[in-house]
């Protein structure tokens, strides 16, 4: 029951918040709920077995029997950390929205909790249609969040976000239905279960676009690529980020973009292995282009939030590169980078939100010399900047290092180009840092009518957990990677015959063999990462 | 032809009889009171009572493919489901009529009588398997509607709408009848059941039969507003009083599709590649035309009218599927399920449009919704649910409707129709989101007629809850529909 509890508890919270009569106690209530949810999600560790790649804590009930659609939750090493990332960020978001969201507070928290349910459901659903429902449901609260609490061009941004993502996912739905009929053809029983989808052997012909596996591959990949977003489908992202309120940006960058990369790991690569391998050059290419393009565009942004938004395009390019490298380094790095990006970019958006609340401007040129006025803020910003540009000992380093290792192994050419992204990343972040925090004091900083105050206790409380995560993940990556190792290695080594079995509590793990054979590789991987530091 | 009418025939048509008798009550009362209106709420209760009884009789006596009146009428799953959907939609529309300023009060008894008569025609239409019976049902339903629209008190638009609807409706009927004549000429019969088995062969061998079939199909295309025969729809839907529009968009469409389905289910599509292709193209064109034209509309009712054209396109995909599938119940149950969800969400949307009308000649634009979310959050939330459901966003019922419909199409190999359906759903996002944007994200003072709790509000809330709830139990519901068709 634990997975259902984790997914639907926020929905219950949303209902309670919706009918809560007292406006004053609304925020503490929401904060309490978000913390409760996080604590409940920690219970996953109690039951999670990191030594197996099997699907764990499965809950499965037939839902729409006629078409083999089931209520089907399961967790493995790939989804575990994404679930925790979601539950970890939510209390931080509630706390960060304390002063930035001042209107329609109730509606905001209702949206937030519905969104949390949708995101958690996306990560845990193991049935195609069930997954699709959560996937699309996530759009609605996000749409309202940007549309109601966003900036001046919020309506344009929110409609664009909605149409882009909806347009991407409808083809996925068609492909899903088609695959349900494929299961009926092969097994005689229609099923929408992901586990049955994995068993399908879908014909693939290299060199042509018109083979069944390629078509289905692109139908799925388009949906996920728009969500990620990869270049050139990324144009909704800067708009959405700039117009979104701080909490919206944090969720968008922290979790929602991961829904896309998670989709690649969970659906695209294992379901269409030959097509993924064949077309990997395309995705590595657009990943690399995204890295460099995102970095170059970020460099010239006058708006600091837009800069971070484009840096997201760049960072997500790394994740794509890692995933399509198809080796242990790449995949592990990709997964790790998803978490890193959630923490670092989330934190950056929160920091930008804090300074925006004080000055109501995000223009880089209007700042300058902030370090002298807001020392504490500067320290936090600096730490997060270092993490974002992947300085060793921070979380960002581990992820990017793995990804680049993996890419060198798989396709060195792309790695040569991708490495320049690391340099460019340092350039735009440090340059921005210099212009905002050092040099002559800008008009906003000097403004005597509105003296700037340094961080208060609440804001420090928001940032401390994020900074702790930055170092924890940077110094002890094995604490995290150990949980996902078995699942990721299973994906890497059995890509062409990927199969998930349901873990029976007490029974010996069915894929223990694969886990042990691949163990040396991962140990080597993680050892290499630590040795390099 | 000798005809024996027995008790079973009478029992089978008892819903129609009940409905007809109930329709007489209000006008009889009016006549007996010396031509003075009785309290409209009593009239409404009499009408709703008649509908409840008719629904009950339809459920109890119908079903299992029984035929009545020498195979003129059939009572199977399609009759039951479509009949119930149509009657309930009619009931909801009558509640709206009671409260809408354009239809309220004056001549309410006559209005209810006409609406009920139209509903009797609908019941004939859903159960008719003889093409002449279909014609009678169509005409009975339509004639009452022409009158209903014409007698509304709105100044110009409704008269124009009535005339347009009358002329084009008659044109459609004429086309239909012309087709029936050809079919009669080739088969010597107008009963669908009699040529059902060999329709596929007939259509291949006989040009005249094909000709007849095409005209019959075109007649239906007019009635259910398939592009390019849709041109009357926006004008009539906009011009008619909103409750009437709701009635036309849901009940009339449902029963017309029921009859359409019966004609197509003769497997004549399997016989004629051309007819099959033509219908597929019509479906695609309808989806595209409806959705793109709706984007341009600022008038709420007109937008909903175009959206209902688009939905006709989706439903036509299901009808085609039913026509070519070996398992006719498969596509047909998708159609019925879709009509059920479509009925709920369209009625809901029109009901809210009706609530926003303060006076008879008040035209509600999308921009008038500004600020509704602050003034009446419940209504705004309900409208949001209806619009998201019309778009087909999960977990609403509209998503499951589209899912079952396109699922059947994909299962039948009509992949490209499903893809077109999906593409046009994406287009539809644009205009379905606009009212939501305006309600929640723009400042303004929405003009809402009454602030007290009234029957329309209750109906709207019930429908919104149904749309959210029925999605979760859509599996058993779909299975129930499918089983009843076997």
| DSSP classification of residue A364 | G
Q: Which residues of A touch B394 (CB under 8 A)?
A: 132-133, 136-137
Question: Is the Cβ of B410 closer than 8 Å to some Cβ of chain A?
Answer: yes
Give 3-state DSSP helix, strand, coil % of chain A, rounded to 5.
75, 5, 20
The SS3 assignment for B70 reads coil
The SS3 assignment for B342 reads helix
Q: CA A446 to CA B234: how far, in whole Å?
A: 60
Q: What is the pLDDT of residue B35?
A: 85
Higher-scoring residue by pLDDT: A346, B152: A346
Structure tokens at B458: 């209750």
Question: Is the Cβ of B431 closer than 8 Å to some Cβ of chain A?
Answer: no
Q: CA A243 to CA B211: how far, in whole Å?
A: 58
| Among A69, A133, A163, beta carbon nearest to B426 | A163
Omega of the bond prior to B395 within 30 degrees of 0, cis? yes
Q: What is the pLDDT of residue B3?
A: 66
Could you write out the DSSP letters of every residue in A294-321?
HHHHHHT-SBHHHHHHHHHHHHHHHHHH
Q: CA A72 to CA A79: how far, in whole Å?
A: 14
Q: What is the pLDDT of residue A512?
A: 41
Among A226, A372, A248, A256, CA closest to A305: A248
Let me know how many helices (H) and strands (E) chain A has, helices first. Answer: 26, 2
* Strand A69-75, strand A56-64: pairing: antiparallel
Could you write out the DSSP letters of every residue in B421-461?
HHHHHHHHHHHHHHHHHHHHHS------S--S--HHHHHHH
Question: Is the Cβ of B295 closer than 8 Å to some Cβ of chain A?
Answer: no
Cα A528 off chain centre by: 25
pLDDT tens per residue, range A159-215: 899 988 998 899 999 999 999 999 998 888 889 999 889 888 888 887 787 889 999
SS (H, E, C) A154-200: HHHHHHHHHHHHHHHHHHHHHHHHHHHHHHHHHHCCCCCEHHHHHHC
Q: What is the pLDDT of residue B357?
A: 80
Q: Is B429–A163 a contact, with Cβ atoms under 8 angstroms apart? A: yes
Residue B365, phi then psi, degrees to nearest 5: -100, 160
Q: CA B409 to CA B413: how far, in whole Å?
A: 6
Q: CA A210 to CA A197: how far, in whole Å?
A: 20
Q: What sign does the dihedral B98-B103-B107-B109 (CA atoms) show?
A: negative
Nearest-CA distance A279 → chain B (Å): 23
Q: Is B410–A178 a contact, with Cβ atoms under 8 angstroms apart? A: yes
Q: CA A294 to CA B382: how far, in whole Å?
A: 41
Q: Which residues of A touch B411 (CB under 8 A)?
A: 181
Q: Which residues of B touch A174 (CB under 8 A)?
A: 406, 410, 415, 418-419, 422
For A153, the closest chain B residue by CA position comes to B441
Q: CA A19 to CA A33: how far, in whole Å?
A: 15
Structure tokens at B381: 């939330």
* Interface contacts (A, B; CB < 8 Å): 77
pLDDT tens per residue, range B88-116: 999 999 998 888 877 776 788 889 999 99
Q: CA B390 to CA B345: how far, in whole Å?
A: 7
Among B62, B73, B58, B274, CA closest to B192: B73
End-to-end CA distance of chain B: 30
| Among A69, A133, A166, beta carbon nearest to B429 | A166
Nearest-CA distance A135 → chain B (Å): 9
Could you write out the DSSP letters of every residue in A242-281?
HHS-HHHHHHIIIIIHHHHHHHIIIIIHHHSHHHHHHTHH
Q: CA B485 to CA B357: how far, in whole Å?
A: 41
Q: A329-363 b/e with 16+ CB inside 10 Å = b?
A: bbbbbbbbbbbbbbbbbbbbbbbbbbbbebbebbe
The SS3 assignment for B67 reads strand
Q: CA B168 to CA A420: how far, in whole Å?
A: 68
Instruction: Find the length of chain A.
Output: 533
| DSSP classification of residue B396 | S
Q: Which residues of B touch A144 (CB under 8 A)?
A: 440
Q: CA A500 to CA A510: how far, in whole Å?
A: 10
Q: Which residues of B touch A132 (CB under 8 A)?
A: 394
Q: CA A441 to CA A448: how far, in whole Å?
A: 12
Average pLDDT of chain B to the nearest whole number: 88
Structure tokens at A179: 């695959």
pLDDT higher than threshold 50 for residue B369: yes
Q: What is the pLDDT of residue B2?
A: 60
Q: CA A156 to CA A143: how far, in whole Å?
A: 11
**Interface probe with A: pick from B314, B329, B407, most Cβ of A within 10 Å:** B407
Question: Is the Cβ of B412 closer than 8 Å to some Cβ of chain A?
Answer: no
pTM of the predicted model as reported, rounded to 2 decimal places: 0.92
Among A428, A422, A243, A218, CA closest to A315: A422
Residue B75, phi then psi, degrees to nearest 5: -120, 90
Nearest-CA distance B427 → chain A (Å): 8
Omega of the bond prior to B228 within 30 degrees of 0, cis? yes
Q: Is B479–A66 a contact, with Cβ atoms under 8 angstroms apart? A: yes
The SS3 assignment for A70 reads strand
Nearest-CA distance A363 → chain B (Å): 26
Nearest-CA distance A130 → chain B (Å): 10
Cβ atoms of A313 and A320 closer than 8 Å: no
Question: Is the Cβ of B394 closer than 8 Å to some Cβ of chain A?
Answer: yes
Q: What is the pLDDT of residue A51?
A: 86
**Interface probe with B: pick from A118, A130, A166, most Cβ of B within 10 Å:** A166
Kindly report the number of other CB atoms within 10 A of residue B43's CB atom.
Answer: 25
| Residue A511 vs residues A46, A81, A82, A303: alpha-carbon distances, Å | 21, 21, 23, 50
pLDDT higher than threshold 80 for residue B62: no
Q: CA B190 to CA B110: how far, in whole Å?
A: 34
| Among B429, B475, B479, beta carbon nearest to A162 | B429
Q: Is B415–A174 a contact, with Cβ atoms under 8 angstroms apart? A: yes
Among A53, A38, A174, CA closest to A501: A53
Q: Which residues of B touch A236 (CB under 8 A)?
A: none
Kindly report the number of other CB atoms within 10 A of residue A383's CB atom.
Answer: 19
Nearest-CA distance A293 → chain B (Å): 29
A interface residues, B as partner, C-beta within 8 Å: 63-67, 69, 129, 132-133, 136-137, 139-140, 143-144, 147-148, 154-155, 158-159, 162-163, 166-167, 170-171, 173-174, 177-178, 180-181
| Among A69, A137, A158, beta carbon nearest to B395 | A137
* Strand B66-68, strand A69-75: pairing: unpaired
Q: CA A277 to CA A279: how far, in whole Å?
A: 6
Q: Is A167–B426 a contact, with Cβ atoms under 8 angstroms apart? A: yes
Q: What is the pLDDT of residue B395?
A: 86
Q: CA B452 to CA A508: how far, in whole Å?
A: 64
Q: Is A174–B410 a contact, with Cβ atoms under 8 angstroms apart? A: yes
Nearest-CA distance B317 → chain A (Å): 15
Residues whose CB is less than 8 angstroms from the CB of residue B369 and which lie 6 or more positions away in sequence, other chains included: B300, B356, B380, B383, B435, B438, B439, B446
| DSSP classification of residue B363 | P
**Interface probe with B: pick from A72, A173, A216, most Cβ of B within 10 Å:** A173
Residue B80, phi then psi, degrees to nearest 5: -65, -55
Helix axes B328-355, B253-264, angle to 10 degrees: 170
Question: Is the Cβ of B444 closer than 8 Å to some Cβ of chain A?
Answer: no
Q: What is the pLDDT of residue A509?
A: 45
Nearest-CA distance B281 → chain A (Å): 20
**Interface probe with A: pick from B295, B366, B373, B422, most Cβ of A within 10 Å:** B422
| Residue A227 vs residues A220, A259, A444: alpha-carbon distances, Å | 11, 7, 36
For B474, the closest chain A residue by CA position comes to A64
Q: Which residues of A touch B417 (CB under 8 A)?
A: none
Q: CA B282 to CA B260: how far, in whole Å?
A: 14
Q: What is the pLDDT of residue B178?
A: 94
Q: CA B484 to CA A308: how far, in whole Å?
A: 57
Q: CA B238 to CA B48: how far, in whole Å?
A: 26
Question: Is the Cβ of B1 closer than 8 Å to some Cβ of chain A?
Answer: no
Question: Is the Cβ of B381 closer than 8 Å to some Cβ of chain A?
Answer: no
For A149, the closest chain B residue by CA position comes to B441
Q: Is A174–B422 a contact, with Cβ atoms under 8 angstroms apart? A: yes
Q: CA B446 to CA B444: how far, in whole Å?
A: 6
Q: CA A201 to CA A213: how far, in whole Å?
A: 9
Q: Is A178–B415 a contact, with Cβ atoms under 8 angstroms apart? A: yes
Question: Is the Cβ of B278 closer than 8 Å to some Cβ of chain A?
Answer: no
| DSSP classification of residue A211 | S
The SS3 assignment for B95 reads helix
Intervals of chain A under pLDDT 50: 507-533
Question: Is the Cβ of B378 closer than 8 Å to some Cβ of chain A?
Answer: no
Q: Is B430–A181 a contact, with Cβ atoms under 8 angstroms apart? A: no
> A48: left (phi > 0), else alpha (psi -120 to 50), else beta?
beta
């Amino acid at each position: 029951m634990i997975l259902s509890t984790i997914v639907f508890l926020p929905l219950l919270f949303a209902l309670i918040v919706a009918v809560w009569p007292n406006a004053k106690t609304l925020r503490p209530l929401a904060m309490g709920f978000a913390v409760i949810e996080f604590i409940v999600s920690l219970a996953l560790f109690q039951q999670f077995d990191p030594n197996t790649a099997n699907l764990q804590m499965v809950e499965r009930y037939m839902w729409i029997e006629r078409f083999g659609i089931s209520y089907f939750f399961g967790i493995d090493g790939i989804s575990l950390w994404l679930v925790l990332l979601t539950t970890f960020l939510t209390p931080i978001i509630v706390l960060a929205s304390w002063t930035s969201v001042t209107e329609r507070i109730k509606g905001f928290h209702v949206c937030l909790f519905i969104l949390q349910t949708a995101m958690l459901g996306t990560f845990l659903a193991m049935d195609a249609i069930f997954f699709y429902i959560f996937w699309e449901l996530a759009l609605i609260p996000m749409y309202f969040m940007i549309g109601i609490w966003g900036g001046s061009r919020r309506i344009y941004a929110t409609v664009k976000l909605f149409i882009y993502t909806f347009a991407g996912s409808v083809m996925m739905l068609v492909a899903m239905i088609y695959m349900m009929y494929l299961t009926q053809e092969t097994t005689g029983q229609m099923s929408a279960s992901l586990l049955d989808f994995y068993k399908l052997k879908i014909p693939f012909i290299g060199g042509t676009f018109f083979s069944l596996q390629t078509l289905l591959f692109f139908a799925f990949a388009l949906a996920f690529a728009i969500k990620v977003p990869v270049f050139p489908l990324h144009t909704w992202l800067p708009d959405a980020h700039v117009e979104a309120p701080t909490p919206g940006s944090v969720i968008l960058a922290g979790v929602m973009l991961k829904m896309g990369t998670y989709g690649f790991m969970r659906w695209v690569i294992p379901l269409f292995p030959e097509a993924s391998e064949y077309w990997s050059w395309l995705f590595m290419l657009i990943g690399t282009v995204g890295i460099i393009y995102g970095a170059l565009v970020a460099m010239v942004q006058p708006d600091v939030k837009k800069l971070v938004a484009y840096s997201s395009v760049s960072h997500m390019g790394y994740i794509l590169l890692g995933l399509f490298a198809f080796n242990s380094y790449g995949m592990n790095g990709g997964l790790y980078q998803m978490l890193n990006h959630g923490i670092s970019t989330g934190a950056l958006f929160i920091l930008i939100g804090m300074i925006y609340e004080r000055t109501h401007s995000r223009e880089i040129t209007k700042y300058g010399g902030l370090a002298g006025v807001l020392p504490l803020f500067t320290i936090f910003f600096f730490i997060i900047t270092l993490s974002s540009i992947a300085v060793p000992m921070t979380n960002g380093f581990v992820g990017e290092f793995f990804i680049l290792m993996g890419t060198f192994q798989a396709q060195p050419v792309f790695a040569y180009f991708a490495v320049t992204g690391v340099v460019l990343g340092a350039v735009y972040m440090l340059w921005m840092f210099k212009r905002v925090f050092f040099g002559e004091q800008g008009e906003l900083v000097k403004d005597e009518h509105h003296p700037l105050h340094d961080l208060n206790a609440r804001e420090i409380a928001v940032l401390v957990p994020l900074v702790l995560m930055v170092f924890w993940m940077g110094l002890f990556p094995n604490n995290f990677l150990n949980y996902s190792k078995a699942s990721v290695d299973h994906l890497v080594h059995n890509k062409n015959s990927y199969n998930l079995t349901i873990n029976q509590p007490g029974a010996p793990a069915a894929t223990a063999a694969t886990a042990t054979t691949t163990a040396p590789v991962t140990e080597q991987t993680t050892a290499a990462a630590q040795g390099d530091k | 032809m000798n005809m024996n009418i027995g008790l079973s025939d009478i029992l089978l048509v008892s819903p129609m009889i009940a409905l007809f008798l109930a329709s007489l009550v209000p006008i009889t009362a009016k006549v007996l009171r010396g031509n003075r209106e009785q309290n409209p709420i009593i009239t409404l209760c009499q009408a709703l009572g008649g509908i409840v009884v008719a629904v009950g009789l339809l459920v109890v006596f119908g079903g299992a493919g029984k035929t009545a009146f020498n195979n003129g009428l059939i009572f199977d799953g399609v009759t039951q489901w479509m009949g119930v959907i149509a009657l309930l939609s009619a009931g909801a529309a009558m509640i709206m009529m009671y409260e809408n300023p354009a239809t309220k009060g004056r001549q309410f008894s006559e209005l209810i009588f006409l609406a009920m008569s139209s509903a009797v025609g609908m019941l004939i239409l859903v159960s008719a398997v003889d093409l002449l019976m279909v014609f009678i049902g169509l005409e009975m339903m339509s004639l009452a509607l022409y009158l209903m629209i014409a007698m509304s008190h709105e100044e110009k638009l409704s008269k124009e709408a009535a005339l347009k609807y009358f002329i084009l409706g008659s044109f459609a009927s004429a086309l239909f009848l012309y087709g029936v004549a050809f079919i009669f000429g080739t088969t010597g019969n107008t009963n669908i059941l009699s040529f059902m088995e060999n329709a596929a062969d007939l259509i291949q061998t006989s040009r005249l039969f094909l000709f007849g079939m095409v005209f019959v199909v075109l007649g239906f295309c007019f009635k259910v507003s398939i592009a390019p025969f849709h041109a009357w729809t926006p004008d009539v839907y906009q011009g008619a009083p909103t409750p009437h529009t709701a009635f036309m968009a849901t009940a009339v469409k449902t029963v017309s599709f029921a009859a359409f389905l019966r004609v197509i289910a003769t497997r004549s599509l399997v016989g004629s590649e051309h007819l099959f292709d033509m219908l597929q193209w019509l479906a695609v064109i309808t989806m595209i035309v409806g959705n793109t034209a709706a984007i341009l509309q600022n008038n709420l009712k007109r937008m909903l009218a175009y959206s209902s054209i688009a939905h006709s396109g989706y439903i036509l995909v299901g009808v085609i599927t039913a026509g070519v599938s070996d398992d006719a119940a498969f596509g047909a149950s998708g159609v019925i399920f879709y009509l059920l969800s479509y009925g709920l969400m369209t009625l809901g949307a029109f009901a809210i449009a009706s609530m926003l009308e303060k006076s008879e000649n008040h035209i509600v634009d999308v921009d008038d919704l500004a600020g509704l979310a602050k003034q009446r959050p419940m209504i705004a939330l309900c409208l949001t649910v209806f619009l998201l459901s019309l778009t087909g966003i999960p977990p609403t019922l509209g998503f499951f409707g589209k899912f079952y419909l396109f699922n059947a199409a994909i299962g039948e190999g009509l992949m490209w129709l499903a893809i077109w359906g999906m593409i046009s759903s994406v287009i539809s996002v644009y205009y379905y989101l606009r009212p939501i944007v305006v309600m929640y994200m723009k400042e303004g003072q929405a003009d809402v007629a009454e602030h007290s709790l009234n029957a329309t509000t209750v109906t709207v809330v019930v429908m919104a809850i149904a749309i959210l709830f029925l999605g979760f139990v859509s599996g058993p519901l779909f299975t129930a529909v499918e089983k009843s068709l076997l």
